[in-house]
Structure 1
């Protein structure tokens, strides 16, 4: 059974590879802003789950074979606001002005679909929440971090597996969720649709990643 990651995130791909799985990679092309426009008033966890589901379904529609598709989305909930990727360096700097010395809740939504001959036969979705405690970078450190471009490419304007890790004092919860794909949550969702991670390990040796 083909295992498909509906995400262009190199961090998510690295987590899966380190965990013994070599997925095919297919980017969904979902208009996230359009999806979010339909979710006004929804709980933060419902937003990230809906986005993950939209991505998984968009990729599933292009497949005509047996497969498992995993869609993901991450956002930071802090001070009553749900934050994705900052659009500009100025936005990233403003985010850090809010985050520095405080904490936020990193929400990662996952959706897994099981396909048989291209038809969805089972699905499950959920959200993992992890508390992140942020340090207070010095002004020159923040200048250099924003200039690196990394915070513009990631939810919440930080990472724990890159330069941003220097400015995270700690987390409470699942670290793989903060990177972008929660292994514990994904394992539970796969079990819901009748797939064992051991099956993915056994199949990974014969599966090559595919980018589109």
Structure 2
């Protein structure tokens, strides 16, 4: 039996990725004040990619300091026109964001850090570039009606594994990166630690 795996996240998408890949794990909420970290880093001149990396590390280290095993910290940021965006809080805000991104590209930066004993031992930050098609207002209203509150669960106001796939004209990047948990390197790490069979 290899090391125990803990996911320091409440994200349903990340839990689904690990479950689907056959990784045994326990999920624990990290309890990090993400807004304070983001505000401090952005004020200091950090970009969206660095913010994702820092938050992933903070989550992993915080949870791993108090328990054995390999702790996965992860975070994803959305960069649009040079600015970091947080999750929309209302469907009206989601509507305005999707209208702003319509016909344009944005980037998702997904960071994953694995910590053990309160210190990071592995990390990866992967980015994907997504271009939204120039969808109609009618499509947007139908999409938001179908997705409802689920549209507020991701920074981009879409689930690529759901109807959100219809928002795009092109995507450059890894599917798991878009879901918020770059997976291939993580699986390799787990094989090296005996969590998965080599």
TM-superposition CA deviations, 1:2-58 (whole Å, max 9, x none): 101111111111111222212111111211101112202112211100111111122
> CA RMSD, aligned part only?
1.9
Verify: 1:47 aligned to 2:45, yes or no.
no
Q: Which consecutive unaligned segments of at least 5 residues does structure 2 have?
A: none
Aligned counterpart, 1:28: 30
Residues 94, 157 of structure 2: 8 Å contact kept: yes
TM-aligned CA distance change 1:96 to 1:197, over 3 Å: farther
Aligned counterpart, 2:195: 200
The equivalent position to 1:146 in structure 2, one of 104, 129, 144, is 144
Verify: 1:106 aligned to 2:104, yes or no.
no
Aligned counterpart, 1:208: none
> How many residue pairs are counted as aligned between the two chains?
191
Q: TM-score, normalised by structure 1?
A: 0.82
TM-superposition CA deviations, 1:116-155 (whole Å, max 9, x none): xxx3365232310111111233323322433411221112
Residues 150, 163 of structure 1: 8 Å contact kept: no
Structure 1 distance, partners of 2:138, 2:25, is 39
Aligned counterpart, 1:6: 8
The equivalent position to 1:135 in structure 2, one of 124, 133, 136, is 133
Q: Which consecutive unaligned segments of at least 5 residues does structure 1 have?
A: 203-212
TM-aligned CA distance change 1:124 to 1:46, over 3 Å: same
Structure 2 distance, partners of 1:199, 1:89, is 44
